[in-house]
């Protein structure tokens, strides 16, 4: 609307009414007439005064009329300006409500997404804890296998491939447990960060909801509202008030930080999946390697035990043959001693032949030769008997050693096959599957 015309105000000419001094000659009786002279004017003075009063009345009326015109224009202009200002303020409040609604919806969306992501990360953390619990059984099995194999007897108490694989498996499980514990701490830290950022967004969202209600109520105010009143103290800018740019930047920063935390949470969940999968695969491969080493070693033990048993059977047969040989040798010695007794008795009796009859005849030579031959045979038989007895003793010692070795092998087979491999049946099939139970 065009501005109302403003009548410029100009100063009215001022009329100065001066009383003309009387030029009459003073009479000598002036002092006696002083009381009557002060209240009386001359006729020109009277006219001039009346003209001044009329002029003042005219100027006062003209000024009042001009003031009324200005007041009328001012009222009209003030009404139009107030209406325009109120409509503009209402439109500004409406735009502000749209901005608040936009950021409120963005914050609400971010809060819901961050809450869903936090729940997913908490589920992954629970998987880590279950996987960590599931590693206790394999670790206990490995430690039990190592302790059981310490009870092997000295000949078989060797650092074989099975023990190397078991130690490798124990180190692997310890490393996996340490990794899972570190990842659980990292997941807990990330969950805490997610919740802190979610709380910041919720506080911002709550402030915007409250502000939206306040501005919406303000937009509904009008001159006919009954709950409006004067608040002169509110017409000021607070020192800690934000600017529209900093206001929008604050919500933008909250959403940006929430997006960063959400992205970090997504990456951590992917990392947790990879950790559990890789740990499960490593454990499965190492378990297969340990089982294969156990199978190979048990087969070697079975073959060694079978060979020892075969040797034991042969030694037992040799012991029987050697014992029979000793019996035969002793019988042969007794037989030869009987022949020697006969020869000695003949020689002894013939030594009593009288005089010239004590002749070195052919029977004498035959008897001496027989004794010498029998003595040689007896000495040979006795030496052979001693050798046979020593051989029998060696065979008995060998039998004891073989029986001990067989017992050792049987103990090792029992430990490896019955105790260790039997205990490994409790080994979890898959760590990744166990994390979901």
| pLDDT tens figures, 286-300 | 989 999 998 999 999
Q: Is residue 59 domain-resident?
A: no
Phi/psi for 27 (5° steps) reads -90, 165
Mean of the pLDDT values across residues 188-204?
94
Per-residue pLDDT for 102 more than 90?
yes
Q: Please tell me the predicted confidence (pLDDT) of residue 39.
A: 54
**Token reading at 410:** 């049987």
> What pLDDT score does 437 carry?
65
Q: Is the pLDDT of residue 36 over 60?
A: no
Mean pLDDT of 144-172: 89
Any domain includes 431: yes
Position 401 in a domain: yes
Q: What is the DSSP letter of 228?
A: -
What pLDDT score was predicted for residue 7?
44
- Number of structural domains (the chain) is 1
> How far are the Cα atoms of 126, 139, 360 from residue 168, in angstroms, in the given order?
27, 12, 91
Residue 148 CB-half CA count within 13 A: 22
Assigned domain for 41 exists: no
Q: Three-state SS string across 112-147, please?
A: HHHHHHHHHHHHHHHHHHHHHHHCHHHHHHHHHHHH
Q: Which domain holds residue 342?
A: 305-352+359-436
Given a contact cutoff of 8 angstroms between Cβ atoms, the answer to whether 222 and 100 are in contact is no
Question: Residue 330: inside a domain, yes or no?
Answer: yes
Q: pLDDT tens digit string along 358-388?
A: 888 888 888 889 889 989 988 999 999 999 9
Mean of the per-residue pLDDT values of the chain: 85
User: Mean pLDDT throughout 83-100?
Assistant: 88
Is the pLDDT at 115 greater than 90? The verdict is: yes
Note whether residue 26 is domain-resident: no
Does residue 332 carry a pLDDT above 70? yes
**383 lies in a domain?**
yes
- Tokens representing 404? 């001990």
Which of 110, 128, 105, 124 minimizes the C-alpha distance to 262? 110
Whether residue 17 has pLDDT greater than 70: no
pLDDT tens for 200-254 read: 999 999 999 999 998 888 888 887 778 878 777 777 777 778 888 998 999 999 9
Residues in the chain, how many?
A: 437
User: How many helices (H) and strands (E) would you count in the chain?
Assistant: 8, 0
Q: Tell me the two tokens of residue 354.
A: 């009288």
| Range 63-71 contact pairs with CB under 8 angstroms and sequence separation of 24 or more | 66/7, 66/9, 69/7, 70/6, 70/7
- Is there a contact between 197 and 257 (Cβ–Cβ < 8 Å)? yes
Reported as a pLDDT band with limits 50, 70 and 90, residue 15 is very low
Residue 360, pLDDT score: 83
Q: Are 179 and 279 in contact (CB under 8 A)?
A: yes
Q: Does residue 25 have a pLDDT over 70?
A: no
CB–CB of 129/184 below 8 Å? Answer: yes
Taking the C-alpha atoms of residue 191 and residue 107, their distance in angstroms, rounded to an integer, is: 19
Q: What is the pLDDT of residue 5?
A: 47
| Residue 406, domain member (yes or no) | yes
| Model pLDDT, residue 190 | 95
- Give percent above pLDDT 70 in the chain: 90
């Amino acid at each position: 609307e065009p501005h109302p015309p403003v009548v410029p105000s100009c100063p009215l000419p001022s009329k100065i009414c001066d009383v003309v001094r009387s030029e009459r000659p003073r009479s000598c009786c002036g002092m006696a007439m002083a009381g009557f002279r002060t209240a009386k004017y001359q006729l020109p003075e009277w006219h001039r005064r009346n003209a001044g009063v009329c002029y003042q009345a005219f100027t006062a009326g003209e000024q009042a009329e001009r003031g009324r015109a200005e007041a009328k224009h001012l009222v009209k202009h003030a009404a139009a300006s107030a209406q325009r200002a109120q409509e503009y303020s209402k439109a500004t409040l409406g735009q502000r409500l749209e901005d608040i609604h936009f950021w409120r919806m963005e914050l609400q969306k971010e809060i819901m997404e961050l809450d869903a992501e936090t729940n997913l990360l908490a589920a992954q953390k629970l998987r880590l804890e279950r996987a960590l619990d599931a590693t206790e059984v394999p670790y206990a099995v490995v430690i039990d296998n190592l302790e059981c194999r310490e009870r092997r007897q000295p000949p078989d108490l060797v650092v074989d491939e099975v023990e190397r694989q078991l130690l490798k498996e124990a180190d692997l499980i310890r490393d996996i447990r340490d990794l899972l514990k570190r990842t659980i701490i990292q997941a807990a830290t990330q969950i805490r960060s997610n919740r802190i950022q979610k709380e910041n967004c919720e506080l911002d969202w709550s402030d915007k909801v409250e502000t939206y209600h306040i501005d919406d109520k303000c937009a509904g105010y009008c001159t006919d509202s009954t709950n409006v009143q004067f608040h002169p103290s509110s017409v000021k800018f607070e020192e800690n008030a934000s600017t529209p740019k900093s206001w929008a930047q604050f919500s933008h920063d909250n959403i940006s930080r929430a997006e960063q935390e959400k992205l970090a949470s997504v990456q951590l969940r992917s990392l947790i999946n990879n950790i559990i999968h890789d740990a499960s695969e490593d454990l499965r491969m190492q378990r297969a390697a340990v089982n294969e080493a156990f199978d190979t070693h048990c087969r070697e033990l079975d073959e060694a035990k079978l060979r020892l048993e075969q040797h034991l059977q042969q030694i037992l047969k040799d012991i029987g043959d050697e014992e029979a040989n000793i019996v035969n040798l002793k019988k042969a010695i007794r037989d030869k001693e009987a022949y020697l007794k006969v020869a000695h008795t003949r020689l002894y009796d013939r030594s009593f032949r009288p005089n010239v009859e004590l002749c070195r005849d052919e029977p004498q030579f035959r008897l001496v030769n027989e004794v010498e031959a029998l003595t040689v045979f007896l000495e040979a038989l006795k030496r052979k008997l001693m050798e046979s007895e020593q051989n029998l003793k060696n065979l008995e010692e060998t039998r004891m050693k073989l029986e001990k070795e067989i017992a050792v092998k049987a103990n090792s087979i029992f430990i490896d096959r019955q105790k260790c491999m039997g205990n490994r049946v409790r080994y979890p099939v898959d760590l990744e599957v166990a994390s979901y139970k």
